[in-house]
Amino acid sequence: MKKVGKKIGAAILAMVLIIAMAVPVSAIVEPGPNGFAIYIYGWAGHSGSSAILKGHGINNNITVGTNNGEAGNHVWYVVPNGNGYLIKDGTQSYCVNIHRVKQYGTYYPCTGYYYENSTGGRDQRVQLVQYNGYTVIRVQNPLVGGNWYMMADYSQPVASSDVIWYSDSTAMKAHWY
């Protein structure tokens, strides 16, 4: 199991602060209690207060909101499944669904849906990979090539602050140690 040393922890903190100051409101994936169950938190940049990914409830889009003490209802985490992983709600048996339908571009919303047993969760599988010192999430077997952006709220898909994470060979905005 990956353990975070004090020096690395300090480096993470510094990194988080740097990114937080650069992006007023954003979201990252932070380490949870272990390498697999990873809570996905956002944070409010300048204030330093934490924000979380919200959207509790089936069929709801995930959004980024201020942590109002209801974190227990809005926790998403990564769990292993077969050869890959799923991003699952912390309290219900449904997972993040990644739409295949093109919405005038390459942005795709993250939505809470029940895991589709019949297809092995084809639209819900991701991979975790250690890359360039970070753990990165990428969509497993994407049907559309290129970079994959997963949006907190696709009603404003062009706002970089809405990006939860993406896998990209040149920049890793969503990561954790």
Partner 1 sequence: MKKLLGIFILGAIVLLTACGQTAPATTSVSSVSADTRQTGKAVGAGFRMATSPDFTCYGSGNADGFYSVVANDDGSKNILYTDYASANQVYLCNQPNCEHDSEKCTAWVAPFEGSVTPVATENNLFLIYSGTTQNAKIEQMGLNGENKKIIFTFSQQAVIENAVAANDQFLVFSVCSYQQDDDGGVEPQYNLVALELQTQKMTTLFSLAEHSDKNKAENKAMFFKGVTNTGFIVETMVQNAYETDETSVEKTFENMNNATTHTVYEIPFDGSAPQPLLTYANNQCNGMPYGDSFFYVKKKENGLLTLLRLKTDTQETTVLADDFAKQWLGEEKKEMTVDDVVFRNFVDGYLLMNVLTDEYVAKNEKTESMELVFTGVAVDPGSKEMKTIGLTSHYNATTVPADILAQAGDKLLVFASVLPQQDPGFRKGAVARKVALISKTDYLQSVPNFTMVNLLREYW
Chain residues in the site for partner 1 (CB under 8 A):
1-4, 33-37, 58-61, 72-73, 75, 77, 79-84, 86, 88, 90-95, 97, 99-103, 111, 113-122, 125, 127, 129-133, 140-141, 143-144, 167, 169
Q: Cα separations (Å) of 107 from 3, 13, 42, 111, 147? A: 34, 29, 19, 13, 10
**Closest CB 129 distance from partner 1, rounded Å:** 5
Backbone phi, then psi, for 13, in 5-degree steps? -60, -45
Looking at residue 148, its amino acid is W
Are 137 and 147 within 8 A, CB to CB?
Answer: no
Radius of gyration of the chain (CA): 15
**Closest CB 88 distance from partner 1, rounded Å:** 8
For partner 1, the closer of residues 14 and 70 by Cβ is 70
For partner 1, the closer of residues 65 and 134 by Cβ is 134
Measured between alpha carbons, how far is 64 from 77 in angstroms, rounded to an integer?
15
Measured between alpha carbons, how far is 106 from 146 in angstroms, rounded to an integer?
9
**Closest CB 49 distance from partner 1, rounded Å:** 21
For partner 1, the closer of residues 147 and 161 by Cβ is 147
For partner 1, the closer of residues 12 and 58 by Cβ is 58
